[in-house]
């Protein structure tokens, strides 16, 4: 092949001669290639900085202000403030300007602080030192200063700072071992390979002499795909070209293991790394409660405009009579009187808008911000969520979403490190029906009390000994395990024998490690692979050597792997292990039924099962097998397909040996947590990069799938047998047919036959489902909608082999469905960041896979089990509290402003305020704000132990039930009713008036001076007491703080009014409130009237609550009633016992 023509073609692409560019050229060591070899193309690449923060120093103020004024209320109050500055209005501009400034400032400080935390975390990563080879020496520089083309030296247990192509390693074979836990969730060791022609460059001086370029694709987010080539320039002009694939690519975030050091060249840096491309851009998340608040604000804004419009029209209708024109004492100038009527009307309209603008509660936003910020400390202070092992408490990275924790409908969780601890333990192995249970073998660590192996069932006898030993040999040989001859790794002792420095095993599959360690416990020890020979130690401490001839690697379609070995006696064996579904059909002899029964039993227990089989090969059969494999490997076209066909021919006619059962330990209480989430009405999806079999076993163990769950597969294997269209419609018919019968069962009361479905889908099939189809015929269909319909009717869904961006796509798909459910994503690795950012609520786990998930999440916890309390308790409380806060604020502001609207009908629509300026300013700031703030922080309508014990209570608040339109309308109508009672009750009190001897107007009913401010003060007094007592009636959880704040607020109002009206304040240019409040309190009938009006206002709400609790109680209300009954019984018993003791004492006396 002419590589120079290919190079020139790529060059033309890069220089723009074609319509698109899909490649880049990287000069290793940033050295220009030898003269005459190729044109030097200077390309610009980003630096290696990672940015997870949202603001910078320069854009914080404009960007934050823009985001804040996107809120309807903030924008509205800005307009009102400007109107007050421009025209003459009944109230001062300060009444709107100061609260708005306070809200904007508090919010900006809170969001700025949260982003500053992210900046600190970014700086810690970007300023991390890395070793770079320059001028033949190893130099240190900050990670953010790394450039494409730099040659990096990475040492054992260090994390790769960017995406690298492996050039050489400390190992002679040019391999290195890597863990990609933070990328795809797999903490097992994977093997990567250096370029064959560069693996000899082991020192900094040797690497400096390397002249080479890399031509590769432009950055793209697929973690498992990479295409490129390296051109190595030696003495001759024509370079040596070698292909590069994903096995040569080391990804940012992965960690080097069991390799002293490597040399690699940076090809993708900063936000172009594959991991960064899998990040979602940060966007402002808004809770469902905030969206409801905005909707309510629009309604109230329409009410406000309607009020102002009605008053403006009625004013000019009333003034149409010449006798009712503007009175002379309004002191209007002639110029103002002669202005055009439309201008005057518009000015009056704006004045009425300002007069009634208090119906939109700006202080609600201040209170909500304070409630969210202060309320988040209850999570931080929760001792039940403190992890003693890590010494960590939960983190709250943003408090804007507290109430969203109480509205979650879908939970998307990672598997490895989130649901599981990723510690594999061999539970048992079955040989011809005989079960062996090695005790407590977990990743090389033997727990106390495991002295001898435990034999279950009868002994296999002398005839079965050979089969038993062949089974153990098969497991010692059929694997890809590597041996490390050291005592410790990651600071953990990994030897089998206590007190001895010995070897331990590493592999890309933790299952294989568990099996090999289990065999060691049962007497067969795998020693090493040396010179293509596998060495094992049998029970007699004799070494056996087997030549490794071929490895037929595992793949997810075949679901098995095989090895061909030759014993020292010259016999050829093919050992195979795999899933029962892929082994049993290929078995021709052996105790199939006994083994199958044991496999089914272990599968029900949620264990990961594998079957083991073998067959002997003659020399001729081995030669045929080698020829078949060689032909398939040399085929450049459809190599994978040819290999699969060869494997299918080779792997058959087996003799069954037995089966194994391995347990992947779940995190503590993970299964209980998932079960509780199901009972709470949430759907749990597992999104993992792991294999389907592994993930499915975990789902059974965690009770996501149950024994009676019928598993539906939407995987590559099935879509190869049928078209995607046919598979989707088959699954759809299956679940919808059951869905129809389920509905009938519910109505007939016979739901016992309901079939529970679980769906399994892999990443490749998901891509096909989400791919837009151009086929608009009946055969095309909308795959997304069909897929969503299948998922809705499944109790649980497992998505395996997911790339990080696919996880986010799944979350986005569910978010955008017609129900618009609230989603939560939880994970512990960098591969989970995308879905964490995409979900309504993102939770990171501070685990073993780094802190990237925790840094980018809204909340961070230490264990999956803490999710239960976070949602069922904290989320429940947060939602209940803030829902009451929002409804109560609108209610009390309707009570506040509607009397002002009614008053305009009695004052000639002159824009005369009903209340004094001090009352207007302090009503929302001082008189009524503190009780609702404290309520929203401390209210517990049900004890938290009950909430944890009965997850179904979560359903009572689902789907934003407390902020639905009927509830909102009820609160609004209640406010209107109370306002009408306040106003017309006061009007009735002042109905009959007479003049006193000194010319003052006196109300004959109450013996009070009749006047505008006396009337307004009476209305305001009833208002303050009513709305405060309404909150007291809604409070279930009383503490001394509640009593102090509620009764203290009422006392503060009284004391303030006495001082405000009892002293002539020298700084005021008016003294209209002097002696008003004291004169009102001096009237006995006024006291009685205030009490009666308060009772009349509160009575309908009390009656409504009593009737609803008696006739249509919710689950929550039933529990409240039961708890109240128990308390009453306890009090009654105590009183009864006290009376008996008293009678007994009297009798004795």
**How far apart are the C-alpha atoms of 100 and 81, rounded to whole Å?**
9
Residue 45 buriedness (CB in 10 A; 0-12 / 13-18 / 19+)? middle
Query: HEC string of 444-513?
Result: CEECCCCCCCEEECCCCHHHHHHHHHHHHHHHHHCCCCEEECCCEECCEECCCCCCCCCCEEECCCHHHH
Does 335 score more than 80 pLDDT?
Answer: no
Does 1044 score more than 90 pLDDT?
Answer: yes
Beta-strand pair 445-446/434-437: unpaired
Of 321 and 192, the structure prediction assigns the larger pLDDT to: 192
Tens of pLDDT, residues 415-431: 877 887 767 788 888 88
pLDDT of residue 421: 75
CB 263 within 8 A of CB 201: yes
**How far apart are the C-alpha atoms of 1043 and 1055, rounded to whole Å?**
18
Beta-strand pair 129-134/151-155: antiparallel
Which of these, 976, 966, 975, 944, lies nearest to 880 by C-alpha position?
Answer: 944
Weakest-pLDDT range from 200-209, 937-946, 1003-1012: 1003-1012
Tens of pLDDT, residues 635-648: 645 656 788 888 88
Tell me the pLDDT band of 933, cut-offs 50, 70 and 90: very high
pLDDT of residue 1031: 93
Weakest-pLDDT range from 159-173, 279-293, 579-593, 967-981: 279-293
Average pLDDT estimate for 10-15 = 40
Q: How many CB atoms within 10 Å of residue 828?
A: 32
Q: Quick one: what percent of the chain has pLDDT higher than 70? A: 79
pLDDT of residue 887: 92
Average pLDDT estimate for 866-877 = 92
pLDDT of residue 823: 93
**How far apart are the C-alpha atoms of 478 and 23, rounded to whole Å?**
40
Write down the H helix ranges in 245-287.
Answer: 274-277
Does 729 score more than 70 pLDDT?
Answer: yes
pLDDT of residue 323: 65
| Residue partners of 454: CB distance under 8 A and separation at least 6 | 436, 437, 438, 439
Listing DSSP states for 212-251 in one string gives EEEEEEPP-S-TT---EEEEE--SSSSPEEEEE-GGGEEP
Residue 321 buriedness (CB in 10 A; 0-12 / 13-18 / 19+)? exposed
Of 211 and 334, the structure prediction assigns the larger pLDDT to: 211
Does 487 score more than 50 pLDDT?
Answer: no
SS3 assignment, position 129: strand
Enumerate the β-bridge partners of residue 994.
1002
pLDDT of residue 574: 94
Q: How far apart are the first and last CA of the chain?
A: 119
Does 831 score more than 80 pLDDT?
Answer: no
Dihedrals φ, ψ of 629, to 5°? Answer: -70, -40
CB 843 within 8 A of CB 835: no
Output the furthest CA–CA distance in the chain (Å, rounded).
Answer: 133
Does 39 score more than 80 pLDDT?
Answer: no
Beta-strand pair 841-845/823-827: parallel
pLDDT of residue 440: 41
Of 861 and 906, the structure prediction assigns the larger pLDDT to: 861
Name the percent of the chain in helix, strand, coil, to the closest 5.
50, 20, 30
Residue 1053 buriedness (CB in 10 A; 0-12 / 13-18 / 19+)? buried
Weakest-pLDDT range from 4-8, 190-194, 572-576: 4-8
Tell me the pLDDT band of 480, cut-offs 50, 70 and 90: confident
Residue 250 buriedness (CB in 10 A; 0-12 / 13-18 / 19+)? buried
Of 910 and 976, the structure prediction assigns the larger pLDDT to: 976
Weakest-pLDDT range from 6-15, 29-38, 589-598, 686-695: 6-15
| Residue partners of 911: CB distance under 8 A and separation at least 6 | 90, 348, 351, 352, 355, 904
H or E element that contains 823: strand 823-827
**How far apart are the C-alpha atoms of 22 and 483, rounded to whole Å?**
41
Query: HEC string of 554-609?
Result: CCCCCCEEEEEEECCCCCEEEEEEECHHHHHHHEEECCHHHHHHHHHHHHHCCCEE
CB 872 within 8 A of CB 406: no
SS3 assignment, position 1072: coil
Does 929 score more than 70 pLDDT?
Answer: yes
Weakest-pLDDT range from 351-365, 491-505, 534-548: 491-505
CB 1046 within 8 A of CB 935: no
**How far apart are the C-alpha atoms of 5 and 192, rounded to whole Å?**
30
Average pLDDT estimate for 249-265 = 89
Angle 341-342-348 from CA coordinates, rounded to 5°: 90
Average pLDDT estimate for 20-38 = 70
Of 320 and 866, the structure prediction assigns the larger pLDDT to: 866
Is 414 part of the annotated catalytic residue set? yes
Weakest-pLDDT range from 22-26, 188-192, 459-463: 459-463
| Residue partners of 378: CB distance under 8 A and separation at least 6 | 874, 877
Tell me the pLDDT band of 1024, cut-offs 50, 70 and 90: very high
Average pLDDT estimate for 61-69 = 87
**How far apart are the C-alpha atoms of 270 and 48, rounded to whole Å?**
4
Listing DSSP states for 905-965 in one string gives GGTTT----SS-HHHHHHIIIIISHHHHHHHHHH--SS-HHHHHH-GGGGGGGGGGGGGSH
Beta-strand pair 137-142/228-232: unpaired
pLDDT of residue 360: 79
Does 771 score more than 60 pLDDT?
Answer: yes
pLDDT of residue 341: 73
The DSSP output letter for 179 is: E
| Residue partners of 87: CB distance under 8 A and separation at least 6 | 347, 350, 351
Q: What is the mean pLDDT of the chain?
A: 79
Going through 237-302 in order, the beta strands assigned E by DSSP cover: 240-244, 249-250, 255-257, 261-268
SS3 assignment, position 843: strand
**How far apart are the C-alpha atoms of 373 and 110, rounded to whole Å?**
8
The DSSP output letter for 871 is: I
Tens of pLDDT, residues 69-104: 877 778 878 888 888 788 776 666 776 777 778 778
CB 544 within 8 A of CB 503: no
Which of these, 835, 404, 870, 836, lies nearest to 676 by C-alpha position?
Answer: 870
Tell me the pLDDT band of 268, cut-offs 50, 70 and 90: very high
pLDDT of residue 992: 56
pLDDT of residue 1130: 62
pLDDT of residue 1002: 54
Does 934 score more than 60 pLDDT?
Answer: yes
Predicted TM-score (pTM) of this structure: 0.69
pLDDT of residue 774: 53
Does 999 score more than 70 pLDDT?
Answer: no
Average pLDDT estimate for 838-858 = 78
Does 749 score more than 70 pLDDT?
Answer: no
Listing DSSP states for 627-676 in one string gives HHHHHHHH--SSHHHHHHHHHHHHS-SEEEEEEEEEEEEEPTTHHHHHHH
CB 995 within 8 A of CB 1002: yes
| Residue partners of 584: CB distance under 8 A and separation at least 6 | 592, 596, 611, 656
pLDDT of residue 160: 92
pLDDT of residue 19: 35
Tell me the pLDDT band of 175, cut-offs 50, 70 and 90: confident
CB 1093 within 8 A of CB 1022: yes
Dihedrals φ, ψ of 582, to 5°? Answer: -100, -15
Tens of pLDDT, residues 888-908: 999 999 999 899 888 888 887
Of 551 and 91, the structure prediction assigns the larger pLDDT to: 551
Tell me the pLDDT band of 439, cut-offs 50, 70 and 90: low
pLDDT of residue 1050: 92
pLDDT of residue 411: 94
Does 709 score more than 60 pLDDT?
Answer: yes
Angle 765-769-772 from CA coordinates, rounded to 5°: 135
Among 163, 348, 400, 414, the one annotated catalytic: 414
pLDDT of residue 457: 41
């Amino acid at each position: 092949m002419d590589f120079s023509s290919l190079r020139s073609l790529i060059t033309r692409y890069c220089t723009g001669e074609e319509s698109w560019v899909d490649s880049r050229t990287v000069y290793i060591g940033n050295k220009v290639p030898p003269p005459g070899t190729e044109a030097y193309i200077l390309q610009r690449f980003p630096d290696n900085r990672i940015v997870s923060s949202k603001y910078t120093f320069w854009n914080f103020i404009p960007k934050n202000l823009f985001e804040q004024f996107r809120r309807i209320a903030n924008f509205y109050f800005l307009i009102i403030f400007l109107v007050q500055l421009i025209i003459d209005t009944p109230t001062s501009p300060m009444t709107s300007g100061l609260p708005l400034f306070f809200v904007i400032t508090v919010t900006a400080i809170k969001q700025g602080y949260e982003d500053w935390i992210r900046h600190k975390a970014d700086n810690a990563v970007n300023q991390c030192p890395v070793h770079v080879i320059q001028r033949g020496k190893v130099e240190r520089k900050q990670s953010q200063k790394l450039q494409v083309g730099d040659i990096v030296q990475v040492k054992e247990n260090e994390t790769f700072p960017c995406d690298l192509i492996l050039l050489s390693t400390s190992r002679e074979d040019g391999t290195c071992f890597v863990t990609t836990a933070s990328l795809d969730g797999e903490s097992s060791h994977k093997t990567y390979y250096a370029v064959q022609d560069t693996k000899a460059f082991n020192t900094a001086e040797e690497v400096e002499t390397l002249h080479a370029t890399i031509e590769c694709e432009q950055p793209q987010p697929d973690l498992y795909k990479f295409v490129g080539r390296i051109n190595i320039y030696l003495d001759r002009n024509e370079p040596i070209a070698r292909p590069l694939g994903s096995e040569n690519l080391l990804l940012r975030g992965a960690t080097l293991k069991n390799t002293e050091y490597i040399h690699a060249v940076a090809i993708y840096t900063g936000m172009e790394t594959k991991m960064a491309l899998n990040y979602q851009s940060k966007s402002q998340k808004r809770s469902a409660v905030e969206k409801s608040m905005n909707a309510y604000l629009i309604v109230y804004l329409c009410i406000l405009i309607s009020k102002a419009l009605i008053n403006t029209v009625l004013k000019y209708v009333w003034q149409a009579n010449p006798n009712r024109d503007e009175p002379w004492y309004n002191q209007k100038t002639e110029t103002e009187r002669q202005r055009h009527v439309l201008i005057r009307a518009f000015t009056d309209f704006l004045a009425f808008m300002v007069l009634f603008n208090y119906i939109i509660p700006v202080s609600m936003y201040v209170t909500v911000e304070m409630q969210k910020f202060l309320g988040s400390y209850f999570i931080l202070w929760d001792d039940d969520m403190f992890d003693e092992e890590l010494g960590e408490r939960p983190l709250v990275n943003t408090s804007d979403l507290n109430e969203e924790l109480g509205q979650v409908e879908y939970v998307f969780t990672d598997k490895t490190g989130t649901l599981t601890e990723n510690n594999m333990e061999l539970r048992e192995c079955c040989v011809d029906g005989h079960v062996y249970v090695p005790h407590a073998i977990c990743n090389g660590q033997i727990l106390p009390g495991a002295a001898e192996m435990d034999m279950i069932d009868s002994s296999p006898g002398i005839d079965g000994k050979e089969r038993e030993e062949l089974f153990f040999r098969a497991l010692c040989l059929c694997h890809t395990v590597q041996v490390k001859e050291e005592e410790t790794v990651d600071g953990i002792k990994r030897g089998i024998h206590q007190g001895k420095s010995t070897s331990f095993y590493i592999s890309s599959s933790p299952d294989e490690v568990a099996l090999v360690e289990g065999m060691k416990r049962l007497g067969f020890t795998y020693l090493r692979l040396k010179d293509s020979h596998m060495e094992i130690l049998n029970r007699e401490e004799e070494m056996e050597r087997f030549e490794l001839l071929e490895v037929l690697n595992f793949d997810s379609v075949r679901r098995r792997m095989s090895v061909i070995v030759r014993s020292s006696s010259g016999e050829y064996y093919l050992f195979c292990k795999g899933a029962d579904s892929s082994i049993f059909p290929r078995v021709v002899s052996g105790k199939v039924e006994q083994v199958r029964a044991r496999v089914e039993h272990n599968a029900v227990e949620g264990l990961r099962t594998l079957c083991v089989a073998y067959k002997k090969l003659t020399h001729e059969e081995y030669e045929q097998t080698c020829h078949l494999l060689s032909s398939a490997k040399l085929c450049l076209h459809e190599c994978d397909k040819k290999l699969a066909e060869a494997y299918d021919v080779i792997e058959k006619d087996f003799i069954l040996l037995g089966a194994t059962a391995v347990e992947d330990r779940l995190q503590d209480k993970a299964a209980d947590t998932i079960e509780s989430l199901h009972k709470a009405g949430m759907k749990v999806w597992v999104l993992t990069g792991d294999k389907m079999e592994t993930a499915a076993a975990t789902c059974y163990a965690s009770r996501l799938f149950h024994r009676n769950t019928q598993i539906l597969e939407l995987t590559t294997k099935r879509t190869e047998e049928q078209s995607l269209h046919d598979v989707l419609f088959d699954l759809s018919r299956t679940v919808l047919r059951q869905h129809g019968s389920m509905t009938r069962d519910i109505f007939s009361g016979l739901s016992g036959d309901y079939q529970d479905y679980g769906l399994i889908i892999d990443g490749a099939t998901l891509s096909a489902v989400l791919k837009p189809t151009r086929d608009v015929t009946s055969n095309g269909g909308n795959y997304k909608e069909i897929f969503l319909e299948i998922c809705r009717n499944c109790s649980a869904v497992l998505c395996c082999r997911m790339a990080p961006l696919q996880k986010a796509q799944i979350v986005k798909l569910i978010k955008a469905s017609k129900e618009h459910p609230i989603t939560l994503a939880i994970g512990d690795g960098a591969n989970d960041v995308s879905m964490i950012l995409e979900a309504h609520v993102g939770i990171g786990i501070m685990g073993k896979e780094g802190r990237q998930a925790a840094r980018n999440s809204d909340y961070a916890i230490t264990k999956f089990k803490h999710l239960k309390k976070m949602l069922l308790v904290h989320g429940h409380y947060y939602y209940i509290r803030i829902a009451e806060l929002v409804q109560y604020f609108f209610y009390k502001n309707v009570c506040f402003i509607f009397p002002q609207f009614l008053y305009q009908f009695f004052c000639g629509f002159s824009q005369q305020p009903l209340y004094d300026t001090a009352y207007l300013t302090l009503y929302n700031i001082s008189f009524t704000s503190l009780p609702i703030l404290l309520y929203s922080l401390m209210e517990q309508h049900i004890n938290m132990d009950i909430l944890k014990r009965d997850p179904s209570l979560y359903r009572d608040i689902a789907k934003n039930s407390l902020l639905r339109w009927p509830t909102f309308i009820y609160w609004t109508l209640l406010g209107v009713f109370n306002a009408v009672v306040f106003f017309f009750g006061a009007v009735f009190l002042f109905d009959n008036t007479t003049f006193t001897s000194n010319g003052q107007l006196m109300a004959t009913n109450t013996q009070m001076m009749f006047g505008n401010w006396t009337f307004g003060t009476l209305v305001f007094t009833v208002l303050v007491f009513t709305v405060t007592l309404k909150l007291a009636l809604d409070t279930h959880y009383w503490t001394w703080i509640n009593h102090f704040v509620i009764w203290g607020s009422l006392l503060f109002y009284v004391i303030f009014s006495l001082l405000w009206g009892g002293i002539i304040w020298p700084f005021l240019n008016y003294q209209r409130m002097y002696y008003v409040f004291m004169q009102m309190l001096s009237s006995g009938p006024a006291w009685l009237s205030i009490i009666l009006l308060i009772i009349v206002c509160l009575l309908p709400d009390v009656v409504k609550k009593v009737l609803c609790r008696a006739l249509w109680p919710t689950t929550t209300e039933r529990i409240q009633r039961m708890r109240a009954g128990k308390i009453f019984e306890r009090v009654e018993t105590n009183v009864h016992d006290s009376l008996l003791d008293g009678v007994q004492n009297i009798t004795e006396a």
